[in-house]
């Protein structure tokens, strides 16, 4: 018996415009609205609309046996409402099927947990309320930005009322253990830990269209056979990936939609297979053991740590400067200032400053509006300088 748990991250940042040093003190428009609109419309056409329509049809055709979960950031939904309201409506239609779960996270897809715990709490609450208002759903499972996780985070989100949390099934924390079981976080009383099966997830997310891959082409029957082979050696296979895998990272011409269209039928051919939502996983299975994870892990790059956002001195200086402004900005009681500061917390702004341009270079360049990480840093720090002037 093996359950399959699909989880998709849905997110687009508010990209910054080319903010020059001459703009400091004169122009408080930090975000490139035209670029953000263009990207949202392009990805909506290639991914969000066709993928949502396909998932909706698959749920109906399988009479509720096919299920998926999402974490959708607040700034993504804001941009949906402004630029592509039809995408927002299609997510509402998915929510109405009863076969879709929405997870909790930070509203701004931020790294606040690592730097500002009160701010983290406020953003999680803001996102919690957004899920209730937009979809009528109350998240019970948490997913921190980019699956950043450690013991301390598990303890904290359990105190906030969450029953489960998602994390990367990284080799260096699992050792001989399998990601295909449910675990318990060591520092919690009962919080369940769902781990990404990164090999099977990345077969779809990264290797699907690679003709250099020995398993190309990946077909639904072949993938379902790999899943069925886990029967007897695991309870659950967690397939976690960016939603933009469908149609954007893997273009329609690669056959990704045809693959997904046939996958539920192939998986459900095996009578021991079934789909589960994260909240169903934590009730159906008992943890097989504890995991003790001190240093933060994530799903990014080959290191599976936080170096994609905080690995160099530019990134560290930029985020340190940003969070030193928390107290004066909140004391100002200026809602526009607070909103701009929070939009600047989105992890993508620091990801663009990453200087790891080798094995992970292609991933870091995707959707990156800058020619270099240094340009990203200069733009960001110019904006921080203007933000400081607005406080005083």
DSSP 279-308: HHHHHHS----EE---S-B-SSTTTTSSHH
pLDDT digits (tens, 9 = 90+) for 357-389: 644 445 556 667 888 999 999 999 999 999 999
pLDDT digits (tens, 9 = 90+) for 6-51: 999 999 999 999 999 999 999 999 999 999 999 999 999 999 999 9
Q: Hey, CA dihedral for 259, 251, 363, 380, is it positive or negative?
A: negative
Give the mean model confidence (pLDDT) for residues 68-73. Answer: 98
| Residue 119 annotated to the active site | no
Q: Hunting for tokens 């200069």 — which residue is that?
A: 378
What is the chain's mean pLDDT, rounded? Answer: 95
Give the pLDDT confidence score for residue 364 in this predicted structure.
54
Write down the catalytic residue from 101, 105, 146, 266.
146
**Those residues with Cβ within 8 angstroms of residue 351's Cβ, 6 or more apart along the chain or in another chain:** 308, 309, 364
pTM, full prediction? 0.95
For residue 20, which phi and psi values (nearest 5 degrees)? -90, 165
Nearest alpha-carbon partner for 141 in 286, 280, 323, 1: 280
Supply 341's token pair. 């500061």
Percentage of the chain beyond pLDDT 70 is 97
Give CA torsion, residues 183, 188, 189, 192, to 10 deg.
-30
Q: Within 110-207, where are the H helices? A: 112-115, 117-135, 151-159, 171-174, 198-205
Supply 142's token pair. 């948490």
Give the pLDDT confidence score for residue 231 in this predicted structure.
86
Q: Hunting for tokens 């990480």 — which residue is that?
A: 373
Coil, strand, or helix at residue 128?
helix
Q: How confident is the model at residue 303 (pLDDT cuts 50, 70, 90)?
A: confident
pLDDT digits (tens, 9 = 90+) for 235-267: 999 999 999 999 999 999 999 999 999 999 999
pLDDT digits (tens, 9 = 90+) for 76-120: 999 999 999 999 999 999 999 999 999 999 999 999 999 999 999
**Those residues with Cβ within 8 angstroms of residue 222's Cβ, 6 or more apart along the chain or in another chain:** 215
């Amino acid at each position: 018996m093996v359950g399959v748990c699909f989880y998709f991250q849905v997110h687009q940042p508010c990209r910054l415009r080319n903010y020059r040093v001459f703009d400091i003190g004169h122009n408080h428009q930090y975000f490139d609205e035209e670029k953000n609109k263009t990207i949202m419309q392009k990805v909506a056409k290639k991914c969000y609309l066709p993928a949502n329509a396909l998932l909706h049809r698959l749920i109906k055709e399988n009479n509720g046996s096919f299920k998926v979960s999402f974490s959708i950031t607040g700034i993504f939904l804001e941009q949906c409402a402004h630029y592509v309201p039809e995408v927002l409506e299609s997510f509402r239609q998915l929510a109405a099927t009863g076969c879709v779960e929405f997870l909790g996270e930070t509203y701004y897809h931020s790294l606040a947990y690592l730097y500002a715990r009160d701010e983290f709490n406020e953003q999680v609450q803001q996102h919690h309320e957004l899920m209730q208002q937009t979809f009528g759903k109350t998240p019970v499972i948490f997913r921190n930005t980019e699956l950043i996780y450690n013991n301390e985070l598990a303890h904290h989100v359990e105190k906030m009322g969450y029953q489960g949390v998602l994390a990367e099934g990284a080799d260096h924390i699992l050792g001989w253990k399998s990601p295909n079981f449910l675990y318990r976080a060591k520092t919690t009383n009962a919080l369940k830990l769902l781990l990404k099966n990164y090999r099977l997830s990345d077969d779809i997310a990264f290797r699907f269209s690679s003709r250099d891959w020995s398993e190309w082409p990946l077909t639904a029957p072949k993938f379902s056979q790999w899943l069925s082979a886990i029967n007897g050696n695991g309870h659950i296979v967690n397939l976690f990936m960016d939603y933009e895998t469908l149609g954007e990272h893997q273009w329609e011409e690669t056959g990704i939609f045809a693959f997904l269209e046939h996958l539920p039928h192939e998986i459900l051919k095996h009578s021991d297979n079934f789909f589960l939502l994260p909240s169903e996983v934590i009730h159906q299975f008992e943890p097989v053991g504890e995991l003790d994870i001190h240093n933060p892990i994530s799903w990014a790059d080959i290191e599976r740590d936080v170096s994609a956002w905080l690995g160099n001195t530019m990134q560290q200086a930029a985020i340190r400067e940003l969070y030193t402004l928390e107290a004066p900005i909140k004391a100002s009681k200026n809602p526009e200032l607070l909103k701009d500061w929070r939009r600047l917390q989105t992890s993508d702004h620091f990801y663009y400053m990453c200087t790891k341009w080798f094995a992970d270079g292609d991933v870091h360049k995707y959707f990156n509006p800058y020619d270099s990480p240094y340009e990203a840093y200069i733009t960001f720090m110019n904006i921080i300088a203007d933000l400081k002037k607005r406080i005083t």
